[in-house]
Amino acid sequence: IWAGFWAHQAVFVTVLFWSEGSPTYQLFGAFLWHAFLGAAFAWLMNLIRSELRALDSLDTTRTTRLLEIMGLQTAVGVIAVTQGIGPKAGDRLAATGLFQLSLCMAWLFSIAIFDVSGIDPHLAVTKLRLGLVEGSALFFTGLMVLCGFSAYVLSEQSRPKQRAVEGVWGVFAIAIFGGFC
């Protein structure tokens, strides 16, 4: 399902950019970005599932957290729609979409960092003894959360600046890519 969703996104977002008259390099970049997300997140979710099964740690608390996040995403989406949809609302809706995406990505990355890799957050903060991989994973996840908060602030503006929304999307993309590396 996940790979199918991102394949759909890769095709239809590219078509959307093409219909808006975007240059060829943006079309190529949009397609590659969504194809990367589909492959990378499918790999990460498969890895998390197999590790949690090996640890015999598949309980319902993670699913409950995800359902709470999905409820918040739905509420934010309804609020965005009630604020209006039109040609001048594109940047606000893009910021809303980024905030919604950051919620589920932060959930997924936090499971990978804390539940699968076994980092104790209290020990990590008090002792500050993290390896390069753990430290960079926490850094990029924190950066992704900050991008989500920034996107939320932008989504509450009636007409956010396009450059601000694009800048937050760019930093978010770097955080996602850095989180995988």
For residue range 88-134, list pLDDT tens digits in order.
777 888 888 888 888 888 888 888 877 777 777 666 667 666 777 77
In percent, how much of the chain has pLDDT > 90? 3
Give the model's confidence band at 143: pLDDT under 50 very low, under 70 low, under 90 confident, else very high: very high
Between 30 and 62, whose confidence is greater?
30
Residue 64 CA to residue 47 CA, distance in Å, equals 20
Q: Could you give the 3-state DSSP secondary structure of residue 181?
A: coil
Distance CA 60, CA 47 (A): 18
Residue 147, both tokens: 């991008």
Token pair recorded at residue 45: 């979710």
> What sign results for the dihedral spanned by CA atoms 117, 123, 126, 131?
negative
What percent of the chain shows pLDDT beyond 70? 91
Tell me the pTM.
Answer: 0.74
Phi-psi region of 120 (alpha: psi -120 to 50; beta: other; left: phi over 0): beta
Who's near 99: CB < 8 A, 6+ residues apart? Answer: 76, 148, 151, 152, 155
